[in-house]
Amino acid sequence: MANALEISNLSGGYIWNRPVIHDLDFTIAQGEMIGLIGLNGAGKSTTIKHILGLLAPQKGSVRVMGLATGDNTSEYRSSFAYVPEAPELYEELTIREHLRMSAIAYGLTEEQFEQRSASLAEQFDMTDKLDAFPQTLSKGMRQKVMIMNAFLVEPPLYVIDEPFLGLDPLGIRSLLDLMARRKKEGASFLISSHILSTLETYCDRYVVLHRGKIAAKGTLDELRQSAGEAPDTTLDDLFYTIVKGGAS
Ligand SMILES: Nc1ncnc2c1ncn2[C@@H]1O[C@H](COP(=O)(O)OP(=O)(O)OP(=O)(O)O)[C@@H](O)[C@H]1O
């Protein structure tokens, strides 16, 4: 069974021959949830842009469900859904039209679209907003639309950047419930967040980026062992130890 995500020896960035991420190696198995953590500027968004195919590797490779970006762009693109940190919506389309557009792009049937969009709207308390335009929504509601779009299409891999920012407590609960359900069904997650206490509850493993390199990776126990920390050390404290003494 192919890994959902396989990043091998990846170096890349914005200017050719001036990489900002260096020799990254990590995988996400099917059904696994990985937390990508690091300080501001560590390289998390740059790594995500490589996964999305917005940046080309300067060295190494990125594979999603066994496919590289160049293999078959539309198949590669439909292997994952991405939730960006800041909502990106079309002001001239209603929320229902956004969902329909995703459904068409990912080849959902009309029945799947109807059933899933109604259920997601209910979970995120957005049923009465389906025919609204984005400019009439609050910031958190706009973020909910991005999340609903991603969960509508049920891809094998979800790439989610700072999912908890801007959501109310009910929205956070609905998102975590959905993530847990899709994970049980075999979907994989790469979640980049600074909210380490929430990641600690939900993720199977972590990749700690520091100055564009992997400073540590593994389960919470593995991170504790390699940092020489006690078995009850929190992810927050471990992260602090790793980046304080971390890779240069
Ligand atoms: N569009 C860009 N052009 C050139 N350099 C960039 C660009 N975006 C980011 N960088 C640089 O790449 C490096 C990694 O930045 P990146 O945005 O990946 O960090 P991050 O870990 O996502 O940080 P944050 O937690 O603040 O979102 C930084 O040195 C940053 O200055």
* CA 15 – ligand 1 centroid, Å: 12
> What's the mean pLDDT in 157-186?
93
45 Cα to the center of ligand 1, angstroms: 6
- pLDDT of 192-206, one tens digit each? 999 999 999 999 999
Higher pLDDT among residues 100 and 2, named by residue: 100
Q: What is the DSSP string of 135-179?
A: GGS-HHHHHHHHHHHHHHS--SEEEEESTTTT--HHHHHHHHHHH
For ligand 1, pick from 39, 40, 46 the residue to mutate: most ligand atoms within 8 Å of CB.
Answer: 46
> Does the Cβ of 41 fall within 6 Å of ligand 1?
yes
Is the CB–ligand 1 distance for residue 193 below 6 Å? no
Ligand 1 lined by 46 (C-beta under 6 Å): yes
> Tokens 């049937």 identify what position?
109
What SS3 state is found at 133?
Answer: coil
pLDDT digits (tens, 9 = 90+) for 74-109: 889 889 999 998 888 999 999 999 999 999 999 999
ipTM of the complex: 0.98
- Residue 224, token pair as written in the block: 């504790």
Residue 78 · residue 106 · CB < 8 Å: yes
pTM over 0.80: yes
Ligand 1 center–CA 42 separation, angstroms = 7
pLDDT of residue 163: 86
- Name the residue with the closest Cα to ligand 1, atom 27: 40
The shares of helix, strand and coil residues in the chain, as percent rounded to the nearest 5, are 40, 25, 35
Residue 155's pLDDT band, with cuts at 50, 70 and 90, is very high
Superfamily of domain 1-79+156-170+185-248: P-loop containing nucleotide triphosphate hydrolases (3.40.50.300)
Residue 46 CA, closest ligand 1 atom number: 18
User: Which residue ranges does the chain devote to CATH 3.40.50.300?
Assistant: 1-79+156-170+185-248
With cut-offs at 50, 70 and 90, classify the pLDDT of residue 44. Answer: very high
pLDDT band at residue 247 using 50, 70 and 90 as cut-offs = very low
Q: Is the pLDDT of residue 158 over 90?
A: yes
